[in-house]
Structure 1
């Protein structure tokens, strides 16, 4: 291989990592500078102006909301929960949920593609070539990709950015990522959006929204039930495998 080819290879390799490096830099800067701005206090202080803008320029406001939410998710900026609740506050339950899901899915896909182009490509290639533990993980994930991705989306204990990055690093298919993200975040989006629907009354009382509602038994129970349902194909195949060994 010539020196020119080696140099070109290194340049292309660095270029693949640039999107993820940019996301990491913006995430750090955003965490340090935006933490005190994207808050419920800020929303309460500006709610009349936001509602007036929504009434005067509904479509433009909806588009602006989606763009901002995409940026928050794509760059892992603080305020994703505030944005989700704001969707319900400004646009109501059903439109707000739709906008929240669309924006979060686009933002999550941006991180997924950035990670897959860089670290994901390298790690996935190593897992594919490996015959040891990494190879077994890759094979098992390929067999149950959709079930695993749905579980990651439905279990609240899994951080959203982890559910965006990890699939890219192990080489899951883009179409499966899009499917499970778009559908898997709907239950949580409904909860946060519904909180936003009644936000005006909460602000009138001088209070702040209670996001612990997500962990209420009547809410978390059905969500965990869906997570268990998504794990069912894995359980069935495992039990069949044991029977065949017996």
Structure 2
């Protein structure tokens, strides 16, 4: 942590600046290319290349997915659908979840290097409400990490930044991200696996499927399970008072 404090500000912020710049350029230049229409127009070529070069296709796909997530480029949902379309629910879901986790870790490390360690140190050294908030997060890190991953309303980018700003260890972030995005990842990968029929009908996939009761209720159940330790600690604290 001392090394981070002694590092010049421009070096600490450089990774975040690069990610922000690439994200801005990507949002302007790639939005029309990383789309469902592009996938539909190139589906036959993609399938042919996959059939002839399966391992290469898997490697290039995962690398592209890592770049999309790591630099916050548009098209993460399309990438997930593509994973299902090219590789099926399995191993497509595994490829999607692993690549998304690695990409999320890129943002996490950049944010922690630039801001997180210094902010966490200040919170540790502070008193009063700020310190209580930090202590509360530290006491329930696993539960909080799983919650922000499982709740569909929490933006993926936010769920990558917040842990970095409160000093969450890298291994906890990686494990909770990988496991926490599996439910949603499997749902969207399964949608992608059925794109052949969608293309044949000339339709677009229903990306709101994750909010259907038979999908959403089990995910909310997992959210409740993740929140249970927090609730129990809060109740025990009140009884102690």
In 2, distance between residues paired with 1:166 and 1:234? 18
Report what 1:87 is aligned to. 83
Runs of 4+ with >6 A deviation: none
Report what 2:11 is aligned to. 15
SS in 2 for 1:96: helix
Report what 2:143 is aligned to. 147
Report 1:13-162 matches (<5 A): 13-162=9-158
User: How much has 1:12 moved relative to structure 2?
Assistant: 2.5
1:197 to 168, 193, 197: 193
User: How much has 1:125 moved relative to structure 2?
Assistant: 1.4
**TM-score, normalized by length of structure 1?**
0.94
In 1, distance between residues paired with 2:22 and 2:224? 36
RMSD of aligned alpha carbons: 1.1
**TM-score, normalized by length of structure 2?**
0.96
User: How much has 1:132 moved relative to structure 2?
Assistant: 2.2
Further displaced range: 118-127 or 78-87:
118-127
Q: Deviations over 1:69-114 (max 9, x none)?
A: 0001001111111000110000010100000011000000000000
User: How much has 1:126 moved relative to structure 2?
Assistant: 1.1
Report what 1:243 is aligned to. 239
Matched, 1:234 2:235: no
User: How much has 1:13 moved relative to structure 2?
Assistant: 2.5
In 2, distance between residues paired with 1:172 and 1:235? 21
Report what 1:4 is aligned to. none
Tell me the matched-pair count.
237
- Structure 2 residues not aligned, in runs of 5+: none
In 1, distance between residues paired with 2:165 and 2:211? 29
- Structure 1 residues not aligned, in runs of 5+: 1-7
User: How much has 1:115 moved relative to structure 2?
Assistant: 0.3
